[in-house]
C-alpha cells in the first residue's frame, strides 16, 4: 500500500516538505503585518506560546492519524473508525485546503507579477511615491484579466509538481526550495537590519508592549499559529501518510514547528527594520508587502539602485517560492483523496481539482474589481473565503483531529504510533504529557477560539 502511494525518502525530505507547507505567505505576508498591528514582541510571545502548547499537539494528532493508516483524511478515518460517521467529517476537511488554495493562488499570482516587475528593475526609481505604488497595485489587482492570467500560471505550476507524485514532484521540489527560502530570507534580513534607522524596527520586535494584547490580539495570534502550521486541513495528515512507518513523529513535528517559527521571526526582522528605516507605520496591514515594500525599495534606490534591485528580486522570489511550497500541499490533500478513495489517476485528479480551484480563484480575483460589490456574509468573495477557512474550517478541522485521536482512538493505539511500538525511548517518556494536551488542553482551547470567532 505504502509503495503504491509513494513515500518520502528520508526524514530530511519529509521535514522539508512539511516545513515547506508551513512556511508560506502566512509567514511573510501575514505574520509581519499582524506583529505590526498587535504590539510587536508581545504578539510574538503569544504566538510562540500557542505554537508550543496548542499547535504541536494538533500537529502530532494529525500526523498520528496519517502515519497510522497511510491514507488521506477520509480513508484514514474510515479505517480507524469503521462504520461510523467520522469519515464524513474527514471528507469535509478535503474541501478546506481547496478553498484556501483558490484565494491563496490569487495572491501567489500577484507575487509572480511582482517578481517579474522586480526583474525589469523597476523598483529602484526613487521618484515613485508611496501613493503611486499603491495606485499601481490597486489598478493591477482590480484588473479583470491580468491577475487571472497570473493566478492561472501559479495554479498550473502547482498542478505540474503534483502530477509528478510524492517523490518525483513534491519531494524533489521542496527539498530544493525550502532550504533556498531560508538562505534568501536570511540575506534579506542581513541587509534590512543594517539599514540606517533599522534599530527602531529591531527594538519594536524585541520589546513587548503588553498593553496591545487584547482578546482579539490573542485570537489573532492563535489563528495565525494555526494557519502558519497548516493545521486542521489535512495537509499534515496527508504528508504524514507518506512517512515511513519507523519515522519519529515527535522529531518531524518539532523540527517543522521550529523551522516555521524561525522563518516567521526572520521574516519579521527582514521586513520591520526596513519599514522603520523608511519611516513608515508598522501596522500597514495586508498591503505591506505589495505596496509598502516596493516604496521602501525605491527610497533605498536613491543611494544604491543596483543593490535595491537585487534585494527586490530576492524578496519577491522568496514570496513566490514560499507560496508554492504551501500551495502544493493544499492541492495534494484533494488529490490524495481522489487517488486513494476514488481510484483516479493522479493526472485526472489534479486536472479536476485544478479546474475547481481555478473557477473559485477567478471569482476571488474578480472580487477586487468587477465583483467587488458581490458580498457573501457581508464580505467580498476573497475575504469570505479567507475568513471562512482560517477562522472556522481550520479550527473545526483541528478540533476534529484532536478529538479523534484523544477520544475515539484507543490510547494504546495512539501510544504505539507515537512511540513506534515502544521503540522510541524519549517519546515513551513524554507520551502522557502529549496525550494530555491532545485529549484535554487542545480541544478546550480550540472550542474557546471557535466560539470567540463566532461571537466576534
Residues that bind ligand PFF (CB under 6 A): 21-22, 24-27, 97, 100, 227-228, 230, 233, 235, 326, 329-330
Confirm if 277 and 34 have CB atoms less than 8 A apart.
Answer: no
Q: How far is the CB of 122 from ligand PFF (least distance, A)?
A: 26
Residue 139 C-beta: closest distance to ligand PFF, Å: 26
Q: How far is the CB of 25 from ligand PFF (least distance, A)?
A: 4
Bridge partner residues of 376 (DSSP)? 379
What are residue 40's DSSP bridge partners?
A: 208
Handedness of CA 65, 66, 70, 76 (dihedral sign): positive
Smallest separation, CB 372 to ligand PFF (Å): 25
d(CA 232, CA 339): 21
**What is the nearest approach in angstroms of ligand PFF to the Cβ of residue 335?**
13
What's the min distance (Å) between Cβ of 370 and ligand PFF?
27
Determine which helix (DSSP H) or strand (DSSP E) holds 390, and give its type and residue range. Answer: none
Q: What is the DSSP secondary-structure string of 139-166?
A: HHHH-SSHHHHHHHHHHHHHHHHHHTHI
Please tell me the distance from the alpha carbon of residue 232 to that of residue 62, in angstroms, as a whole number: 8
For ligand PFF, the closer CB: 25 or 289: 25
Confirm if 291 and 137 have CB atoms less than 8 A apart. Answer: yes
Q: Of 100 and 218, which CB lies nearer to ligand PFF in the complex structure?
A: 100
Q: Are 232 and 393 in contact (CB under 8 A)?
A: yes
Closer Cβ to ligand PFF, 124 or 329, answer by number = 329
Tell me the three cell numbers of residue 294. 516596493
What is the rounded CA–CA span in Å between residue 24 and residue 181?
10
Which CB atom, from 50 or from 298, has the smaller least distance to ligand PFF?
Answer: 50
Q: From the CB of 23, what's the least distance to ligand PFF, in Å? A: 6
Identify which of residues 24 and 253 has a Cβ nearer to ligand PFF in the complex.
24
User: CA nearest 274: which of 302, 295, 246?
Assistant: 295
Helices of type H across 207-344: 215-228, 235-240, 249-277, 292-300, 305-341
Task: Pick between residue 93 and residue 118 the one whose CB is nearest to ligand PFF.
Answer: 93
Nearer to ligand PFF, 46 or 280 (CB): 46
Instruction: Using the minimum distance from each CB to ligand PFF, give the nearer residue, 295 or 382.
Output: 382
Q: How far is the CB of 59 from ligand PFF (least distance, A)?
A: 12
Amino acid at each position: 500500500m505504502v509503495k503504491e502511494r509513494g513515500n518520502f525518502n528520508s526524514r530530511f525530505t519529509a521535514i522539508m516538505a512539511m516545513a515547506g507547507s508551513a512556511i508560506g505567505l502566512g509567514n511573510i505576508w501575514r505574520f509581519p503585518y499582524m506583529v505590526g498591528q498587535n504590539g510587536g514582541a508581545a504578539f510574538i510571545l503569544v504566538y510562540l506560546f500557542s505554537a508550543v502548547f496548542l499547535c504541536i499537539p494538533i500537529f502530532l494528532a494529525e500526523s498520528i492519524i496519517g502515519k497510522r493508516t497511510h491514507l488521506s483524511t477520509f480513508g484514514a478515518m474510515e479505517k480507524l473508525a469503521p462504520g461510523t460517521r467520522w469519515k464524513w467529517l474527514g471528507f469535509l476537511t478535503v474541501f478546506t485546503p481547496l478553498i484556501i488554495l483558490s484565494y491563496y493562488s490569487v495572491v501567489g499570482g500577484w507575487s509572480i507579477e511582482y517578481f517579474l516587475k522586480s526583474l525589469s528593475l523597476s523598483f529602484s526609481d526613487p521618484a515613485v511615491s508611496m501613493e503611486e505604488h499603491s495606485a499601481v497595485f490597486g489598478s493591477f489587482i482590480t484588473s479583470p484579466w491580468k491577475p487571472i492570467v497570473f493566478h492561472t500560471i501559479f495554479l498550473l505550476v502547482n498542478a505540474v509538481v503534483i502530477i509528478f507524485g510524492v517523490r518525483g514532484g513534491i519531494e524533489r521540489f521542496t527539498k530544493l526550495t525550502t532550504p533556498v527560502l531560508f538562505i534568501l530570507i536570511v540575506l534579506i534580513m542581513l541587509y534590512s537590519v543594517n539599514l540606517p534607522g533599522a534599530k527602531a524596527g529591531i527594538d519594536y520586535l524585541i520589546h513587548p508592549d503588553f498593553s496591545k494584547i487584547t482578546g482579539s490580539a490573542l485570537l489573532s495570534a492563535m489563528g495565525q499559529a494555526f494557519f502558519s502550521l497548516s493545521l486542521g486541513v489535512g495537509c499534515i495528515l496527508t504528508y504524514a501518510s507518506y512517512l515511513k512507518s519507523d519515522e519519529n513523529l515527535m522529531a518531524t513535528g518539532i523540527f517543522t514547528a521550529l523551522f516555521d517559527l524561525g522563518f516567521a521571526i526572520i521574516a519579521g526582522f527582514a521586513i520591520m527594520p526596513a519599514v522603520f528605516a523608511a519611516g513608515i507605520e508598522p501596522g500597514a496591514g495586508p498591503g505591506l508587502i505589495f505596496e509598502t515594500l516596493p516604496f521602501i525599495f525605491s527610497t533605498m534606490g536613491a543611494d544604491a539602485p543596483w543593490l535595491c534591485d537585487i534585494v527586490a528580486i530576492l524578496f519577491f522570489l522568496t514570496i513566490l517560492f514560499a507560496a508554492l511550497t504551501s500551495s502544493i500541499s493544499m492541492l495534494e490533500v484533494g488529490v490524495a483523496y481522489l487517488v486513494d478513495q476514488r481510484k483516479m489517476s493522479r493526472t485526472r485528479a489534479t486536472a479536476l481539482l485544478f479546474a475547481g480551484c481555478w473557477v473559485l480563484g477567478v471569482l476571488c480575483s474578480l472580487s477586487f474589481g468587477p465583483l467587488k460589490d458581490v458580498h457573501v456574509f457581508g464580505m467580498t468573495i476573497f475575504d469570505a473565503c479567507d475568513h471562512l477557512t482560517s477562522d472556522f474550517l481550520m479550527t473545526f478541522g483541528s478540533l476534529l483531529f484532536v478529538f479523534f485521536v484523544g477520544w475515539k482512538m484507543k490510547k494504546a493505539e495512539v501510544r504505539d504510533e507515537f512511540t513506534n511500538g515502544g521503540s522510541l525511548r524519549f517519546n515513551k517518556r513524554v507520551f502522557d504529557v502529549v496525550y494530555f494536551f491532545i485529549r484535554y488542553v487542545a480541544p478546550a482551547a480550540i472550542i474557546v477560539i471557535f466560539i470567540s470567532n463566532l461571537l466576534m
